[in-house]
Amino acid sequence: MTAINPSILSADFANLAAELGRIPSSDAVHVDVMDNHFVPNLTMGLPVVKAIREATSLPLDIHLMIDEADTWAPGYAELGAESVTFHVEASQRPRQLIRDLKSHGAKAAMAIKPKTALEPHLDLLSELDMLLVMTVEPGFGGQAFMDEMLPKITAARRAVDDLGGEVAVQVDGGINRETILRAAEAGADTFVAGSAVFGAEDPDAAIEGLRQLLA
């Protein structure tokens, strides 16, 4: 089962409600929260995500690129987000945070940056719902897909398969019609696409085009 989660980082922020209405077939809305500390950019916080929650019935896939994830991440689950992703580099107590997110009814996901090794964190896999392998350095949209991350995606898929669980393997960064198949062949099943969707004249048709490639 594959999923396409368009990133609203590439949408028109002045008309977010209308932009959400342009992607009705998306599997979830990927919401990038950046704090200008963990990454050198600033996007939105809890109040804006609350407004997004009220503006759409689509599932929300929150990607927190923020410091002090242990403190702030549960608040996004409390807002009613279906999935909350924290960066392992920003958590002091990742196992407890996973459990906190789940206690608020959200799926718990963990992201790793390109320079972060996967293996030291595989002991958390059995408690996760999703593992996000970043295929760009987090913090900016529109970056080129890093092919050197393909072996990490494959290692993540192997670890998930060995576990025998239902953990999704998500990729985020530079996903478009040229790169999505490479990521899928490496083992990803959940794809964050920003400019490839919202940069199209018809974003929903762009989602369908990506699905057809995967099929």
Query: Which structural domains are found in the chain, ordered by start?
Result: 3-214 (3.20.20.70)
Q: Is 75 among the annotated ligand-binding positions?
A: no
Q: In angstroms, rounded to a whole number, what is the distance separating the alpha carbons of residues 85 and 62?
A: 6
Residues of the chain short of pLDDT 50, as ranges, are: none
Active site residue ranges: 32, 172
User: Cα torsion at 146, 63, 6, 52 (round to 10°)?
Assistant: -160
Question: Which residues are bridge partners to 84 per DSSP?
Answer: 62, 108
Q: Is 63 among the annotated ligand-binding positions?
A: yes
pLDDT for position 141: 66
Question: Which residues are bridge partners to 42 per DSSP?
Answer: 35
Q: Is 145 among the annotated ligand-binding positions?
A: no
Q: Is 142 among the annotated ligand-binding positions?
A: yes
Q: In angstroms, rounded to a whole number, what is the distance separating the alpha carbons of residues 11 and 139?
A: 15
Query: pLDDT tens, 120-172?
Result: 999 999 999 999 999 999 877 677 999 999 999 999 999 999 998 799 999 99
Supply the pTM of this predicted model: 0.95
